[in-house]
Amino acid sequence: MTTDPASTAADGFNPTIHAPNRLKICAALYAAGSGGQVEFATVQDKLQISASVLSKQVSTLVGEGYVHQNRATRDHRQRVWLSLTKEGRAAYEAHVAALRAIVEG
């Protein structure tokens, strides 16, 4: 059996983040930078997915402590702003590094 070089890239690979929509959510929130936030509707628009799908994936990430939700009521409507937590940023960066290592073999 040959040693798969990709297995050495396992450090930082995060199966929770890697699910397609969750990876995209993290990428979108990462763009806002440290201390930044992105509105739920903006993430939905950029990812082109339904609100219910986005909400479900966000809940998973919140459950893992990677994403923080900030709810605010404005003009009688509830707006939700999402941000990566410190742990979420670290996990995402490590995951991206793991993906790069897989690509580079």
Partner 1 sequence: METQNPPNGHPSPEEAAAALRETEKLTTDVAGVKVPAWYFPALGAVVAPYGLITVLPDTPLGIGATFAGIAAFLAAVLLIAHYGVKQMGVLRWLTWKETWPVFVPCGVLTVAALAASFVIDSNWLWVGLSAAIGVVIAAFGPYHRRTSPYYKQSDSQ
Residues that bind partner 1 (CB under 8 A): 1-2, 4, 6-7, 9-10, 13, 15, 18, 20, 23-24, 26-39, 41-42, 45-47, 74, 81, 96, 99-100, 102-103, 105
**In the complex, minimum distance from the CB of residue 70 to partner 1, in angstroms, rounded to a whole number:** 10
> Looking at beta carbons only, is 28 or 67 nearer to partner 1?
28
> Looking at beta carbons only, is 1 or 71 nearer to partner 1?
1
Q: Which residues of 15-54 are buried (b: 16+ CB within 10 A; e: fewer)?
A: eebeeebbbbbbebbbeeeeeebbebeebbeebebeeeeb
Residues in the chain, how many? 105
Q: Is the dihedral of CA 70, 73, 74, 77 positive or negative?
A: positive
> Looking at beta carbons only, is 52 or 104 nearer to partner 1?
104
